[in-house]
Amino acid sequence: MMQHQEQKLKEVLARIFNVQPEMITDDASPDTIENWDSLRHMNLVLALEEEFGVEFTDDQVVEILSYKLIKIVFKEHGVEFVQ
Amino acid sequence: MTLVRGGISGNETGLSDMLALINSSDDSQGIPVAFNFLRNFTTEGIEPYLHYHCLLSALKPKITFGNYDMVHQEVLDRSSHLYSSSPDIIVAALYLDTYLPDGWRASWSADDVMNSLAGLFADIAGNTDAIIVVNTFVPPFYADFGISSVKDFSSHHNEVLRLNQLIRAYVFSTPARFVLADWERFVRLLGENESMDYRFWYMSRSPFKKAFLELYALELVKVARALKGKSKKCLILDCDNTLWGGVIGEDGLNGIKLDPHSYPGNVFYEFQKSIIRLHERGVLITICSKNNEQDVWDVLDGHQSCILKREHLSAWRVNWSDKVSNIRDLATELNLGIDSFVFVDDNPVECGLIRDMLPEVTVLQVPEKLYTYPPLLNRDGLFDTLTFSSEDRQRSQLYRDEAHRKHEQAKYETMDQYLASLALRVTVHPATDNEISRVAQLTQKTNQFNLTTRRYTEAKISSFCNDPDWAVISLSVQDKFGDSGLTGVMIAHKEGDTGVIDSLLLSCRILGRSIEKVFVLEALSIMSRLWPVKTWQAEFAATPKNQQVAEFWPSIGFRQSSLLDGHTFYTLPFAVPELEPISYIAIEEQQ
């Protein structure tokens, strides 16, 4: 189940930024993914909320600027991943 | 094709899944269409929805955005995106808060803003040959001055509404170039909660949520489809459980469900209206049904509530062959491409077969929730053409009707003259078999103009009809504006040489025109011919809701005879009341 969540998260990011899922490493961020601009970040927020049934706070919207940070914020919402 | 259900919900496909389809789409497929947005807010959020719905319509979109809030500059600068992207469709996406930053403070006039908008629109139109989509504005959701705002006709709110009307009129007057994306309608459909994204408005100047953006995108796709010649041109209809409820071959002419007044016949009646409207827009209507041909003609030619007639049809295939061959045949006969057809059927097997064998045909299945059926043909804009979108057409029709009524009312000096102009026509006769269920329904629903408020089942009404000592008389009303249908009932029986009026009721919507008097007069004369009665007995049973008819019997010449437990009894010592004929109502007795 948790494995599945991780996979799903990578898939959402890959789709939003139109890259191969292998590109979504723990370090994935606007620095490593060219398409991760402010406009696509908005779509990322919306897609994550839609797919995982959470609602980010205004601070979190700005914070989740790397794959690692997304997982940390998700944990605060009770979405668990494999460590 | 799965499109959003008329904006009722835009949440059928997730953004992530849409992007998966977009990322994997084949670049060599689809008809190219280029959109350029001239905008004064962050509009990029629409891109995935617009792209996705273009793909579903076999269009390959190129979507570009002009610089943020540089609308005029983009138009003036010949090297801007507006020109370099060679758009087919220019979307002038204007948000009022940005267009009129001081609008909240200073009073402004809709006419001035419209003048400035019209200047901009004319500049765009003069410099390009694209179709230009303009929008109305989102009216404020809350009143400027709270509860006292209604008195303040110059308020921001009212001015936005007035401006929207001016924008609609502008678009309406320039149908060849401009198309409307009616944002005000979008928020009316979706509500504030589904439309407005305040989080991203304040954080990124991106004011709309997915449902709104998807609705907006769908309107743009309709424009693209129409522009690229992908409008559907021909409707292919199944018959049983598609044009009417039930199976004509088994249920017979009186057994099928099709009438304006009772469920589920009224759903099919409503659906037929949408077919007639498409016919009036120039869409070809055809039938493809597994049936005996004569059975189908019996309904189209002979069923009183079947408004779809043989003369509406351009072609038909009513036989027992497979529908794939029949549709190919129809395409040849009408000289149309298979891709210009929309096929409607209730049978999932037939629908699946057509989807598999003729994927170019748009297949619409009659929904299981039958009450969602009537807007099926209208909601996705499949038949929309640029010169007259379905919306504009309906709007213009409504305007015409309303103007017509107003004009009529203003023309006459007295009420009687106005009533005379309505060309009222009433039909009074013993209830026929296919009227029984509507009669029963009226006895169950009518509260105000109801003298005794006796509720009857269909079975009971049926037994009255078959009893020679009882009579059920129905009233139907028409005027030149339309058909009100079966809206009045009298039930009576005879005891020796006295006729006893058991029930008299009329639907509220036909009151105020003295129809009730004509009805009683006519009903009593019909029954006097059935039964040689010398006197009539009538009754008023008071309820909390029927006070308006407490004096009805005396008003037409009945005399009070007794009073018992809240029931007042009246008698009329003649077979037919002596009433002045009402000159402006024509009476028909035909069955």
The packing angle between helices B156-173 and B110-127, to 10°, is 30
CA–CA separation, B573 and B567 (whole Å): 20
Hey, which CATH number is domain A2-76, 3.30.365.10, 1.10.1200.10, 1.10.3470.10, 1.20.1440.120?
1.10.1200.10
The pLDDT value recorded for residue B197 is 97
Note the CATH number of domain B234-383.
Answer: 3.40.50.1000
ipTM of the complex: 0.93
Residue ranges per structural domain of chain B: 15-227, 234-383, 418-588
CA–CA separation, B71 and A1 (whole Å): 50
Residue B200: CB atoms within 10 A of its CB come to 19
Note the CATH number of domain B15-227.
Answer: 3.40.50.1110
Q: Does A28 touch chain B (CB under 8 A)?
A: no
- Say if the Cβ atoms of A11 and B23 lie within 8 Å: no
Of B14, B20, B45, the CB nearest to A42: B45
Q: Does B210 touch chain A (CB under 8 A)?
A: yes
Of B48, B199, B203, the CB nearest to A43: B48
Burial of residue B146 (CB within 10 Å: 0-12, 13-18, 19+) is exposed
Q: Which residue has the higher pLDDT, B168 or B394?
A: B168
To test the contact with chain B by mutation, choose from A13, A43, A59 the residue with the greatest count of B C-beta atoms within 10 A, namely: A43
Of A15, A38, A43, the CB nearest to B23: A15
pLDDT bin (cut points 50, 70, 90) of residue B381 is: confident
The pLDDT value recorded for residue B561 is 92
Of A38, A47, A58, the CB nearest to B14: A47
Q: Which helix (H) or strand (E) holds B425?
A: strand B424-430
Q: Does B193 touch chain A (CB under 8 A)?
A: no
Q: Does A38 touch chain B (CB under 8 A)?
A: yes
Note the CATH number of domain B418-588.
Answer: 3.40.630.30
The pLDDT value recorded for residue B165 is 97
Residue-wise pLDDT tens digits, B205-262: 999 999 999 999 999 999 998 888 788 889 999 999 999 999 999 999 999 999 999 9
Residue-wise pLDDT tens digits, A31-75: 999 999 999 999 999 999 999 999 999 999 999 999 999 999 999
Of A12, A38, A61, the CB nearest to B16: A12
Q: Does B24 touch chain A (CB under 8 A)?
A: no
- Say if the Cβ atoms of B19 and A18 lie within 8 Å: yes
CB contact burial B204-234 (16+ within 10 A = b; e otherwise): bbbbbbbbbbbbbbbbbbbbbbbbbebbbbb
- Say if the Cβ atoms of B210 and A47 lie within 8 Å: no
Q: Do B234-383 and B418-588 come out as alike in CATH topology?
A: no
Q: Does A39 touch chain B (CB under 8 A)?
A: yes
Residue type, B570: Y
Q: Which residues of chain B lie closer than 8 angstroms to A16, CB-CB?
A: 16, 19
Question: Which position has the token pair 């991780």?
Answer: A6
Of all residues in chain A, the one with the smallest CA distance to B199 is: A58
Question: Which position has the token pair 């979108």?
Answer: B389
Residue-wise pLDDT tens digits, B556-578: 999 999 998 889 999 998 877 77
Question: Is A53 within 8 Å of A80 (Cβ atoms)?
Answer: no
**DSSP of B501-527, one letter per residue?**
EEEEEE-GGG-SSSHHHHHHHHHHHHH
Q: Which residues of chain B lie closer than 8 angstroms to A51, CB-CB?
A: 14, 16
Of all residues in chain B, the one with the smallest CA distance to A43 is: B45
**From the CA of A43, how many Å to the nearest CA of chain B?**
7
